[in-house]
Every structure is written in structure tokens, then in C-alpha cells.
Amino acid sequence: MRTQVGILGAGPAGLTLAMLLHREDIDCVVLETRDRAYVEKRVRAGLLEQNTVDLLRELGVAERLDREGLEHNGIYLRHGGVNHYIDMTALTGRHITIYGQQEVVKDLTNALLSRGVPIHFEVGETNLHDLESESPRITYEREGEILELTCDAIAGCDGFHGVSRPTIGEHLTEYEYVYPFGWLGILAEARPATDELIYAWHERGFALYTMRSQSISRLYLQVPADEDIENWPDDRIWHELKTRLGSVNEGKIFDKGITPMRSFVAEPMQYGRLFLAGDSAHIVPPTGAKGLNLAVNDVRLLAPALAGLIKNGSTRRADGYTTAALRRVWRAQDFSNYMTQMLHDLGGGPFQRQLQLARLGYVAHSEAAAHSLAENYVGLPAEPEF
């Protein structure tokens, strides 16, 4: 079989790339190891930058997002039992939207299949070959058969645990920091007790109050990295959330899990005709809500690079892909690290806590500091100068 771009992974990066390529009349095939139901149910991020929403609108896949997404104008930073409002829209003229990642994935999957773009779920044994040639290949197993897909280029959108990055590992420099804590996240059938998201600093650790709708709350608690979810019966979760967040509405918990936290960047994001995008190339701690947004931004840059390569044989944009993408990735790494360090119990004792409170007080009361936080949080321009 032959296609122009073979895409590994039906997450936000792979699916958005497929839509962008389809718009350019470039053929692609998406290969995904999991089944469709699993991918569409996997609960992860929920906060979309305006850049991301604008791109989904441009691609004609935002009809449900526009109907069901919750527009937000700011966040509360909570410390000392008081919520301090950061009015992002007043500071930047932009806003953010709450809409679950799995809903974005559903909308993109439906749009692609209805346009006849193939997505093959439940493939196995994906292997990449001839990446230095102009005809790289993917071999994979599907329904017991070994198949081969010859491409002009391959997009490795297969997440942090995929095959793309390890295949070219010897050509990459990797930067990594693993945090000694993770997030316990729940979804509950409960009306959110807040109008905007609350990022809470507390002596017992960080907590985040977010939501999915007027009747579904999403809440997170900082827990030790090696924590076992079995140690967290529902009563303990609610008790801890109330301690750290103040007022919380309880309801039936229907999803809970623990996510480890790391910062990771692989460089370059290209080897031969394989291009990495999204979590396969970089991970940020979730405190800045940047993971999904970065994945979408990578493919915003990658699509024209692939179009240049395939339509005109021009390598100009492809050669610049790593530099353009990584500039934004490192900015997001810094912002995510800043939010993480400001809000979590880092184990540094009273001195560190006082530094965090000084920083929080500054952001809450200085417009210059709040402005800096806000412009990063709502999302920088698609291709910033810095």
C-alpha cells in the first residue's frame, strides 16, 4: 500500500495533522494501536487555548465545541484560604475554553472518517524502515496480517510511549526532569462550586478545581509520585479536596486515576523523513494545561512543512520545523515549570513555602506579573518571536 503521509497515533496531534493534510489535498493514513472506543473514552486534558479553538474552527470541526465548550475569562489562584482572580481576558483580550480532550478526539475522528480519510484502529507491531530514504515504510499487523505502508513522509504522533522516538533514539538529545509527585484526577457527577478554575496552593499540597459541564466536575490533587490509587477511597478524596480548596460540591465519582509528572524534550524533532509531533517529542507537567495545545501547535507547523516537501520537493519549512516547534515547546516548558514550582509542595520546607507565597502574592497584586502569567496561559501567538 502507498500513501503520502503515514501518521502513527490517533490522538490530538495525529488527527489534527490528518485534517490539515486533507485540506491540502495530501493523502494520509492514520494507524492507531488502541480501539476506537478506548481512544474516545480516554480522559485527559480539558483546557483549550484560543489558538487551538481557532484552528479547530478553521478546520470545520468546532460545531459541537462551540455549542458545548465552556468559555472562561480567567482563573483563581488560591492561597491562605482566599481566591485571587486573574482576569485573563481583561489582561490579554483572549479567553480559554473548557472542552474535554476525548470530545476533541471524537469530533476529529468523525470528521476524518466522514471525509474518507482512513484511520486503522487496533494495529500491532508497528515498525519504521528506510527513514533516510525518500520512501520510508511502516510495517504493522492488522487482523492477523502483516502489512506494509510506503510513504513520502511519516509523522510520529504516537505519544510518549510510542515507537517513533525510540526508533531514532540514537540520533536524539533528550532533556528530562521527573517530579517527585503526580496528580490524582477525578471526574464526578457534581455541579462545580466555582465559576472559574481554581489553582490552589496549600500546605498539604496543590489542588485544582476544574469542570467539564454545569453538572460534571473535574478535580485534581497532588499526591506522591508512587501513590497507589487503592489508598484513595472516595471519602478520603473529598475530604482532602475540601481541605485544600474550601468549598467543593460532592457527587458520584465515575473516573479516577493518577498521572505521573515529568518535563521532557527530545531534539531534533525530525530524522530523515520521520517527523515527531506532540507527546512523542515532549511532555510538560499539566499545571499550565499546555500538553494538548502544544501537540496541536506542532502539527500546525508540520502540515505546511510536509506540504512543501511533498508538493514542491522543498525542504525549507521541513528543515526549519524543529527550530520553530521547539522555540514554543521550551517557552511552554518554562511556563509549566513556573506554575508547577509556584503551586506544589516541593518538599523544600518552610523557606520554600515562603518563597511560593511571595510569588503568589506578587502575581495576585501586580498587574505586570499577572499579565505575564496570563499571556502564557491563554496561549502565545502561533509563531512567537521568542
Residues classed as catalytic:
72, 199, 286, 290, 377
Stretch touching ligand FAD by CB under 6 A, among 2-10, 224-232, 315-323, 368-376: 2-10
Q: Of ligand DHB, ligand FAD, none, which one sits near residue 101, judging by CB under 5 to 8 A according to partner kind?
A: ligand FAD
Any idea how long the chain is?
386
Q: Which listed option, ligand DHB, ligand FAD, none, makes contact with residue 126 (CB within 5 to 8 Å by class)?
A: ligand FAD
- Spatial neighbors of 133 by CB under 8 A, at least 6 apart, are 272, 273
Q: How far is the CB of 121 from ligand DHB (least distance, A)?
A: 25
Name which of 11 and 136 has its Cβ closer to ligand FAD.
11
d(CA 66, CA 15): 19
Sign of torsion, CA 289 291 292 295?
A: positive
Residue 44 sits in the site that holds ligand FAD (CB under 6 A): yes
Decide if 339 contacts 201 (C-beta within 8 A): no
Q: Does 219 bind ligand FAD (CB under 6 A)?
A: no
- Decide: is 244 part of the binding site for ligand DHB (CB under 6 A): no
| Strand-pair category, 197-200 with 74-79 | parallel
How many C-beta atoms lie closer than 10 Å to residue 101's C-beta? Answer: 19
If 0-12 CB within 10 Å is exposed, 13-18 middle and 19+ buried, where does residue 197 land? buried
Size of the site for ligand DHB (CB under 6 A): 10
Instruction: Look at residues 200, 203, 292, 213 and name the one whose alpha carbon lies nearest to residue 251.
Output: 213
Q: If we measure between CA atoms, which residue out of 231, 357, 379, 364 comes closest to residue 291?
A: 379
162 touches, from ligand DHB, ligand FAD, none (C-beta below 5 to 8 Å by class)? ligand FAD
Find the part of the chain contacting ligand DHB (CB under 6 A) among 39-47, 50-58, 79-87, 135-143: 39-47
CB 290 to ligand DHB: min, Å = 8
Q: How far is the CB of 17 from ligand FAD (least distance, A)?
A: 9
- Asked if 286 touches ligand DHB (CB under 6 A), the answer is yes
For ligand DHB, the binding residues (CB under 6 A) are 45-47, 98, 197, 210, 218, 286-287, 289
